[in-house]
Amino acid sequence: MKNILLALSLTSAFGLATAIGAETPSAPMNQQTRSALPEKDLQAVAPKVLAWRRDFHQHPELSNREYRTSKIVAEHLKNLGMDVRQGIAHTGVVGILKGGKPGPVIALRADMDALPVTEQVDLPFASKETADYRGEKVGVMHACGHDAHTAILMGAAEVFAKNREQLPGTLMFIFQPAEEGAPEGEEGGAELMLKEGVFKTLKPDAIFGLHITSSGPSGVAMLHSGPAMASVDSFTIKVKGQQVHGSSPWKGVDPIVTAAQIINGMQTIVSRRVDLTKAPAVVSFGAIKGGIRSNIIPDAVELVGTIRNFDEGIRTQIHAEIRLTAEKIAEANHATADVNIRTWYPVTVNDPALTQRMKPSLEKVFGPDKVIDPGLITGAEDFSFFAREVPGMYFFMGVTPPDRDYKTAPTNHSPLFYVDESALQNGVRAFVQLVQDYTSESGQNTPKTQ
């Protein structure tokens, strides 16, 4: 998830922790499920998934700089006999596996990039990596779990490759860079992969993705139908006045007072101008910069913030309201306001028909009582770009160990983010089960979602 965007608030969804068995690290697999899955291959790949995850964790790479990671991924897919395409959106990798039977095209996606975070977890494979980020030397850490996502999908790819002849259809394994956002001045992520034609020659019938989170216990999956994660945009407002001595403000134009009025005025956008019965929305300020001395009213003040919402119409309305509010308040103060809104990710929508159809697959892996609805999540994901092109389903997996309280566990993006590695195998199983069920005879006869 984008480093400035993560706002998972799943605690309320886990109020029934006892009911879902939060103490259990992973849901028991029933015999019917075990016989349906290639159990021998799943067991064989488990230690490899663990080793890959630890290796990637120890050697994290920032967005659009996933050179080592993508090389390892590509070599693995080639060794499995796949048709491999590299260099999509700078460092993206796509592996194509054609099954031995006719069937649909299914895409599975994992993200590979890490964050500019200095790790504080005491692990033998803790990251010691550093990198340059926005002109500063920073620590680099897989503080959002993309190391686990990559390892899980590599494991699933190996299981499917070993069972290629029994596979109906074709699988696309998409290893995506820059989910956390491309560096300033660069393009990246899912949007650039699509721009460069990742679906041009082979368009999937459906795409699935997962994300681990410390906001839930190991062994629990979270799935919400329809709009599931918010769109996200950032804004910068440069309020320009006229610098003057603080003892005589009437001789200039005060951008600080103007900025304060803009901040207050914008609080009414969501509370008074947006129809919240349609969908929730958030407008938040994250930074205010301006001035250097107590007795100097500066020339300018810069405001920076974020916008989240779950409806594209409301998204457009909020953009217009921000411009109107800032510009008119500035004008009333004889100042000017230069508003720049950068659109990031659209709303992540889980296709309702696909979600209803595939939820039982997750229940087979995690248990019927351990696939819960977390409600709307104001974090954002660029999986949303893929899900706008084809029916998509995106779910979360809890990774807080049973001996820790997930309600107080360090969140994703924290330097203390910790992953219960016993939960990773559930991710491999989930991908395998989703594909098996989607490509089953009954699944192939189900009308495709639009």
| Largest separation between any pair of C-alpha atoms in the chain | 82
For residue 5, being part of any structural domain is answered with no
Strands 281-289 and 231-240: unpaired
- Do 168 and 220 share a structural domain? yes
- Do 435 and 294 share a structural domain? no
- Do 66 and 36 share a structural domain? yes
- Do 235 and 252 share a structural domain? yes
For residue 398, being part of any structural domain is answered with yes
For residue 129, being part of any structural domain is answered with yes
Q: What is the CATH classification number for the domain harbouring 70?
A: 3.40.630.10
Single pTM value for the model: 0.88
Q: How far is residue 271 from each of residues 145, 266, 277, 282, 349, measured CA to CA in Å?
A: 35, 9, 12, 10, 25
- Do 79 and 140 share a structural domain? yes
Of these residues, 66, 119, 345, 394, which one is catalytic? 345
Q: 114 near 143, Cβ under 8 Å? A: yes
For residue 87, being part of any structural domain is answered with yes
Of these residues, 66, 179, 191, 421, which one is catalytic? 421
- Do 100 and 42 share a structural domain? yes
Each residue's pLDDT, cut to its tens digit, for the chain (450 residues) gives: 654 334 344 444 433 333 344 333 444 444 344 446 899 999 999 999 999 999 999 999 999 999 999 999 999 999 999 999 999 999 999 999 999 999 999 999 999 999 999 999 999 999 999 999 989 999 999 999 999 999 999 999 999 999 999 999 999 999 999 999 999 899 999 999 999 999 999 999 999 999 999 999 999 999 999 999 999 999 999 999 999 999 999 999 999 999 999 999 999 999 999 999 999 999 999 999 999 999 999 999 999 999 999 999 999 999 999 999 999 999 999 999 999 999 999 999 999 999 999 999 999 999 999 999 999 999 999 999 999 999 999 999 999 999 999 999 999 999 999 999 999 999 999 999 999 999 985 444 443 433
Long-range contacts of 248-253 (CB under 8 A, 24+ apart): 249/297, 252/297, 253/333, 253/334, 253/335
345 is catalytic: yes
> Which residues, in sequence order, are bridge partners of residue 288?
303
Single out the residue in 313, 344, 375 at which a domain terminates.
344
Domain that holds residue 305: 231-344
- Do 376 and 326 share a structural domain? no
- Do 368 and 309 share a structural domain? no
- Do 382 and 332 share a structural domain? no
Single out the residue in 326, 344, 362 at which a domain terminates.
344
- Do 147 and 19 share a structural domain? yes
For residue 1, being part of any structural domain is answered with no
Domain count, the chain: 2
Q: What is the CATH classification number for the domain harbouring 244?
A: 3.30.70.360
For residue 449, being part of any structural domain is answered with no
- Do 381 and 322 share a structural domain? no
Among 356, 350, 348, 349, CA closest to 446: 356
For residue 6, being part of any structural domain is answered with no
Single out the residue in 344, 362, 397 at which a domain terminates.
344
- Do 270 and 184 share a structural domain? no
For residue 166, being part of any structural domain is answered with yes
